[in-house]
Structures are given as C-alpha cells and as structure tokens.
Amino acid sequence: MNSKKGDLNLNKLLSTFWPAGKKFHSSSINFIKRYQNKIIVIKYGGYALTKNNLMKSFSKNIALLNKVGIKIIVVHGGGPQIEAELKKRKIKDSEYQGLRVTTESILKIVKNILAKKLNKSISHELNKFGRISKRVDGISLKVIEAKIALNGNIGYVGEPTKLHKKTIHEIIKSKKVPVIAPIGYTKNGTCLNINADTAAAFIAETLKAERLLLLTDVEGVLNNNKKLISELDRKKAFEYIKKGTIKSGMIPKIRACFNTLRNGAKGVALIDGRKQNAVLMELLTKQGAGTLIKK
C-alpha cells in the first residue's frame, strides 16, 4: 500500500512539474527510485542561463528532482554574461585551452557576475518553487580551496584542491539545493576564477556523485559532420581532440569528464542546455539528452 501511495505521489509531482513529459511518467518512476538519496551534480550556464523560458524550465526540473528526494547540487558558470560585460567595458578577453585568462580587472568582473548577479538570480528562480535553494557564492560562503593554475601564466585562474564537504552535506541534509559559484580561494585567501566545468567535475568526484551533468550550448559532442556522438570513450575522445573535432571550450569539459570518472563519479553526460526539460530527459528517460561519457 505504501509503495502504491508513494507512486501516486510521484505521479502527482511529475504531472505538476513536467506535464510535457506525460508519455514518460510511468517509466520515470523507476528512474526516480534509482536516483533517490543519490547525489547528482549539474553544471548550469551558457545559453540556458540567458533565456527566461529556459531558466524557468531548468528551475522546474531541479524543483521536481529535489521534491522526489534526489540530492541535487547546481554549479553555475556565466561565460556569456562575463563576455558581454568585458565587451561593454572594452576589456580585451582571451583564453588558453578553453580557460579564460583572468587579470585582476577581469577577476573583479567575474566575481561580480558570478557571485552577486547570477548566483542570486538562479537561487531566486529556484525559490519560486518553495524555499529550496541555498546560495554558495564563493565570497560570503566558500567551499572550494584552490591553487593558482599553470604557475599563474593565465592570471587568477584556479585549480580546485579541496572541497568543504561538511558544508555541502549540511545543505543537502536540510533538503535544499546548494547553488555554487565556481570561485575558489587559496590558503592565504587569494580569490581565483575556476572554470565551471572543472569545478562541477571536482565536486562530483569528491562527493562520489551518481551522475555529473554538464549543460552545453550544443546537442552534446558532435563529430565532423555535426552529428551527435551518443557515447564516447576516452580513446575516441582524445583522438577527436588531436584531430581538432573537439576544440576550444569543449576541451576542458571532456578532460573534466574523464578525470571525474577516474576519480569517483559513477557517470557523466554532456547535455543540450538549449532544450527545455533536458535535465529530466537525461535522468528520467531511456533516450537521454546528449552524449554519455564512458571510461
């Protein structure tokens, strides 16, 4: 009886938060049961963070997963917003292997966009579905210790070294979603800009997450004919990097995925953040929503 009652409750939540996915609801219940009480880390950013309809869809997806008992952690980027601000101020922007070269003046902008604006607005959107989020902005609440990457050759860019797991576990225990800005700090308190994919991957592997989802601005990983590669192993991925099929900002994503799998996360997927309900399609259906990365 309890099991039936539980399924009825899940069906009700699915109908409320994902009416468009009605044809998946009966099979989605099995996926929900598989992920209940498990940690899922989701990297959110790019185009999905610039469109109101996508922000609303993402927030509803996260609210549903939170309400059915899945432990969600959101790590957000803010590339397009940072680029727009740099352009507005006529500050030259460059990258090295997909990482933003971060001078002192760029760091100020990064902190303002990530910690103050985006962290706040993502939390605000989530809280429209109940007070379900907790801001971890990297300034007033810090959880990622880091060291300066590449000997400081690309400025104030950080490589994560330690995660304050206790803080995150306490937030999750209170049934809230930590919304984490990828800002780290060194032992002496220097603030560092961490690539959001790298930060999300580090958090997923440290917490031995069941799944890491990276929302991208493409369908997933594409081949030279712009066709989706539904599954990708390490050997094939590094062949694609060598050939230039996988390039620019996709390189740190792919590297982060394989590091994460090697270091403890159980599964990684790159999904299309431009599509509504992409998170639910990936987690709660057989067909998924992008490229599954395998060892």
pLDDT in tens, 118-167: 999 999 999 999 999 999 999 999 999 999 999 999 999 999 999 999 99
Q: What's the pLDDT at 135?
A: 98
29-38, 231-240, 242-251: least confidently modelled range: 242-251
Cβ-based neighbour number of residue 126 at 10 Å:
26
Cα separation, 256 vs 194, whole angstroms? 12
User: Of the candidates 266, 257, 290, which has an alpha carbon nearest to the alpha carbon of residue 39?
Assistant: 266
pLDDT recorded at residue 286 = 87
Q: DSSP E strands: which ranges in 155-281?
A: 158-163, 177-180, 183-185, 191-193, 211-216, 221-222, 228-229, 231-232, 268-272
What is the per-residue pLDDT for 5? 67
What is the spatial distance between Cα 203 and Cα 60, in angstroms, rounded to a whole number?
Answer: 23
Domain range annotation of the chain: 39-226+248-293
Report the share of the chain in percent with pLDDT over 70.
98
- Which CATH class name applies to 39-226+248-293? alpha beta
- The least confident of 76-80, 151-155, 217-221 is 217-221
Q: Which residues contact 16 (CB under 8 A, 6 or more apart)?
A: none
Structure tokens given for 128: 């429209």
pLDDT per residue as tens digits for the range 14-45 = 999 999 999 999 999 999 999 999 999 999 98
**Residue 226 pLDDT class (50, 70, 90 cuts):** confident
pLDDT digits (tens, 9 = 90+) for 2-17: 566 678 899 999 999 9
- For residue 1, pLDDT beyond 50: no
Neighbours of 125 (CB within 10 A): 20
- Taking the model in full, what pTM does it have? 0.92
Measured in degrees and rounded to the nearest 5, phi and psi for residue 155 equal: 85, -145
* pLDDT band with cut points at 50, 70 and 90 for residue 172: very high
The whole-angstrom separation of Cα 219 and Cα 275 is 9
Confidence at 248, pLDDT banded by 50, 70, 90: confident
